[in-house]
Amino acid sequence: MEGSLSNGSCKSLFKMPEIKFTKLFINGEFVDSVSGKTFETIDPRTGEAIARIAEGDKEDVDLAVKAARQAFDHGPWPRFSGAERRGIMLKFADLIEEHAEVLAVLEALDAGKLHSWAKMGDIPGAANTLRYYAGAADKIHGEVLKMSRALQGYTLREPIGVVGHIIPWNFPTTMFFMKVSPALAAGCTMIVKPAEQTPLIALYFAHLAKLAGVPDGVLNVVPGFGPTAGAAIASHMDIDKVSFTGSTDVGRQVMQAAATSNLKPVSLELGGKSPLLIFDDVDVNTAADMALLGILFNKGEICVASSRVYVQEGIYDEFEKKLVEKAKAWVVGDPFDPAVRQGPQVDKKQFDRILSYIEHGKREGATLLTGGKPIGKKGYYIEPTIFTNVTEDMLIAKNEIFGPVMALMKFKTVEEAIKSANNTRYGLAAGIMTKDLNVANTVSRSIRAGIIWINCYFAFDSDCPYGGYKMSGFGRDCGLESLHNYLQVKSVVTPIFNSPWL
C-alpha cells in the first residue's frame, strides 16, 4: 500500500508500510486491551492517523505485572546464567538488524524523525546497546568485604525484580533499548509503556523479542496514556522499580505515586535547559554548526538540547552572522526526503506549545533573529528559530521549549559564563567550545550538569553514563552505571573461626 507524499519533495523513497503489530504484548502474546479500547497514532507530516492501537489501562498493566512477576519469581530468566541471557540478547540484536529497513520507516513515521538518521543511527544503535549490555551480563560482580572482626562478608548484586519502564516519544527506539537492555542483562523482567504518540516500534520490538527467544512474561509492552497506564505502573504495588524519562512535571507525579504506593525506587531523566558556552578562541564556522545542531537535531525534541547559547563578546557579531546564514539554509521537510535535515514536531500539542513559547519570547521583548513561524498548512513543521537580546529571567531562557528555538546570549568572562550556565534549575548537559585546556578543565568542573561535552555535542556512547543533576533528575542511563538501576545490593555475613588474617 503506497502512502501519498505530502509536504515534501518527490525524492521521497517512502512507501507506507503495513502496520503489523497493534495490540498489547503480554506474557508472550499479542492481545486486545481488557476494555477493548483503541487509540490513534498520528503521522506528524500530515496530522492523519497511521493506525489504531490497543489502549492499555490499569487492568492490562495488572495482567502484565502478573506475567512479569511469574516470570521473575518462577521463570527461567533470572535463573539463566549471564551467558545464556547474553545469547538471547545477541539474537535479539541480530533480528533488529535483519528488520532494519521496516524499523527505520516505523521510527521516522511515528515520531517525524529523519529516516536517514533512523536507518544509520537509531536502529543500529539499538542493536549496539543490546550487544553492549549482553556482554556485561556475565560480569556482574559483588564484592568481598574487609570486615573489622572475625566475619566473612560479601555482597551480591541481585536483579531487583519487576521493572516498569515509562518511555517518551522523542527517541522511541533509543529509549526502549537504553532501558530494556540493562534490565534484561541484570535478569529483571519488565513492562514497557511506550509513549502514546509512538507505540508502533515498541510493539515490533516485542515481536522480535519473542522470535529471539526471550521467555514469555519477561518483556511486556503495554501502550497507553500517562494518566492511565503510566499511573498504573507508577503506583503498582507489585512493581519493584520504575524508570522514567519524560517531563519534569510528570516525573514529580511518578515519584509521588511510587511513594504513596509501595515505595518503589525510581530513576528519573527529566528536562533540561542546557547551556552551550562558546569562547572566543574557537573557529566561528565550527561553533555555529555546533550551536545549530545542538538545538535543531531531532527538531529540538531532545532533553539535552543546547537551548541556551552563550557566545563570548570577541566573536559574537561574526558568530551571529554565520549562525543566521546557516539557519536560513537548514532544510525542513518530509523526514523521508534524504535532503531534509529537520522533520515535523511530534504532534499538534507540541507544535502549539512551541509556537506559544515563540509568542512569549516576542512579548517578553527578545529579538527574533530568524524563523518563528510554522511551515505549510499540513503537519507540524516549524522554522529554525533564534532569539537574541534574551535576558536570563525570560521564560524562553528558563523553561524547556523542546523545539527548534534557540536563546542566544553574550558573555564577557569565564566567571560570568559559569554563573550563567548554572543559572537554571536544570542540570542535564552542557557544551564548552574552547581550545584552552585550563578553561576546559575549570569550566567542566564548575558547571553543575550530568554530562559535559567539550568541543562536541550529543557525543553519546554505550560506555558513557548520562543523567541529571538538580531538577533534571537522578540515576544514570548508558554505561555500566545504568545496570545499578536494576540491581540491588544484598550483604551476606557469616562468622569465621581461626582465620590466619583479617
Partner 1 sequence: MASLRNGSTKSLFKLREIKFTMLFIDGEFVDSVSGRTFETIDPRTGEVIARIAEGDKEDIDLAVKAARRAFDHGPWPRFSGAERRRLMWKFADLIEEHVEELAALDALDAGKVYLRAKTAEIPGAAEFLRFFAGAADKIHGEVLKMSSELQGYTLREPVGVVGHIIPWNFPTTMFFMKVSPALAAGCTMIVKPAEQTPLTALYYAHLAKLAGIPDGVLNVVPGFGPTAGAAICSHMDIDYVCFTGSTDVGRLVMQAAAASNLKQVSLELGGKSPLLIFDDADLDTAADVALLGNLYNKGEICVASSRVFVQEGIYDKFEKKLLEKAKAWLVGDPFDPTVRQGPQISERHFDRILSYIEHGKREGATLLTGGKPIGDKGYYIEPTIFTNVKEDMIIAKEEIFGPVMALMKFKTVEEAIKSANNTQYGLAAGIVTKDLNVANTVSRSIRAGIIWINCYFGFSMDCPYGGYKMSGFGREYGLESLYKYLQIKSVVTPIYNSPWL
Long-range contacts of 251-258, Cβ-Cβ distance < 8 Å, separation of 24 or more: 251/473, 254/166, 254/230, 257/231, 258/234
> CB of residue 494 vs partner 1: minimum separation in angstroms?
4
> CB of residue 137 vs partner 1: minimum separation in angstroms?
17
> CB of residue 485 vs partner 1: minimum separation in angstroms?
11
Q: Which of 406, 485, 336, 497 is nearest to 5 (CA)?
A: 336
> CB of residue 41 vs partner 1: minimum separation in angstroms?
30
Give the nearer residue to partner 1 in terms of CB position, either 29 or 461: 461
> CB of residue 136 vs partner 1: minimum separation in angstroms?
12
Give catalytic status of residue 29 as yes or no: no
Give the nearer residue to partner 1 in terms of CB position, either 175 or 471: 471
Angle, vertex CA 391, rays to CA 386 and CA 394, nearest 5: 85
Alpha-carbon distance of 272 to 307, in angstroms, equals 9
Q: Which of 308, 310, 222, 283 is nearest to 23 (CA)?
A: 222
3-state helix, strand, coil in the chain (%, to 5): 40, 20, 40
Give the nearer residue to partner 1 in terms of CB position, either 293 or 452: 452
Point out the catalytic residue in the list 55, 107, 269, 400.
269
Give the nearer residue to partner 1 in terms of CB position, either 200 or 432: 432
> CB of residue 81 vs partner 1: minimum separation in angstroms?
14
Give the nearer residue to partner 1 in terms of CB position, either 251 or 384: 251
| Site for partner 1, rule CB under 8 A | 128, 145-149, 151, 153, 155-156, 158, 240, 248, 251-256, 258-260, 262-263, 265, 268, 270, 425, 440, 444-445, 449-456, 459, 461-467, 469-471, 473-474, 476, 479, 481, 488-495
In three state form, how does the secondary structure of 320-382 look? Answer: HHHHHHHHHCCCECCCCCCCCCECCCCCHHHHHHHHHHHHHHHHHCCEEEECCCEECCCCCEE
Q: Regarding beta strands 29-31 and 429-433, do their DSSP bridges make them parallel or antiparallel, or are they unpaired?
A: unpaired
Are 214 and 84 in contact, with CB atoms under 8 Å apart?
no
> CB of residue 152 vs partner 1: minimum separation in angstroms?
9
Radius of gyration of the chain from Cα atoms?
24
Cell of 403: 523545539
Q: What backbone phi and psi angles, to 5 degrees, belong to 68? A: -70, -35
Residue with cell 537509531: 122
Give the nearer residue to partner 1 in terms of CB position, either 116 or 482: 482
Give the nearer residue to partner 1 in terms of CB position, either 149 or 377: 149
Give the nearer residue to partner 1 in terms of CB position, either 178 or 471: 471
Cell of 224: 497507553
The secondary structure of residue 461, as a DSSP letter, is -
Alpha-carbon distance of 449 to 391, in angstroms, equals 21
Q: What backbone phi and psi angles, to 5 degrees, belong to 185? A: -60, -35
> CB of residue 290 vs partner 1: minimum separation in angstroms?
11
Q: How many CB atoms lie within 10 A of CB 314?
A: 12
Alpha-carbon distance of 439 to 432, in angstroms, equals 9
Residue 478 corresponds to which amino acid? C
Three-state SS at 466: strand
Catalytic positions, written as ranges: 269
